[in-house]
Each structure stands twice: as structure tokens, then as C-alpha cells.
Amino acid sequence: MAHPTWLNKYLTMKPEVNKIFDDLEGLLDYCRFEMLPFNEADLYNKQSVIWQQYEYSKKPRRPYKGRNDNRNRSNYSNRSKSQ
């Protein structure tokens, strides 16, 4: 039995719905890995601490460039080693 065309159109997800489910799945993964309580009501709730932490964790970070070995590390670095 073939499905009507309107049913196929109805069942396809819109981009907004996909974004909601992707964000919900991301929040669930974050809560699992950080061992935090998961609550669906925290999704997009700016007052929720868990949502704030999740949003902060998604921010892009500056790449780690390693330690700069040319800098002066202490006051005694210019001393001669024979002293």
C-alpha cells in the first residue's frame, strides 16, 4: 500500500525541528559525560546552570601553542651557573 504524498511531506523534518533534536541530543551527551542530571526543560533555558555550562563548552577555543621557552621564567635565570 503506497503512502499518500502529503504524508511523506508531513513526516519530513524541517530544519528547525532537526536543530532542536540535535541540541537536545548534544545536551544529553554533555550531561552524560559530565555526570550532571539531565532535564529536557533545561534546553534553551538561559537561567539554567547546566544549559549555561553546555553553551560555554561549545564555544571555540584558541589553539594551544605550547610553552614559550624564550621567556624569562624567574629572577635567577640570568645568573651564571658557576656561582
Q: Where are the domains of the chain?
A: 15-58
Nearest residue to 54 (alpha-carbon basis) of 27, 79, 81 = 27
pLDDT band at 77; cut points 50, 70, 90? low
Mapped onto helix, strand or coil, the DSSP state of residue 12 is: coil
Q: Give residue-wise pLDDT tens across range 17-51.
A: 889 989 999 999 999 999 999 999 999 999 999 99
**51, 45 contact by CB (below 8 A):** yes
CA distances 59 to 3, 33, 82, Å, are 43, 17, 49
Mean pLDDT for the chain overall: 82
Q: What is the pLDDT of residue 70?
A: 61
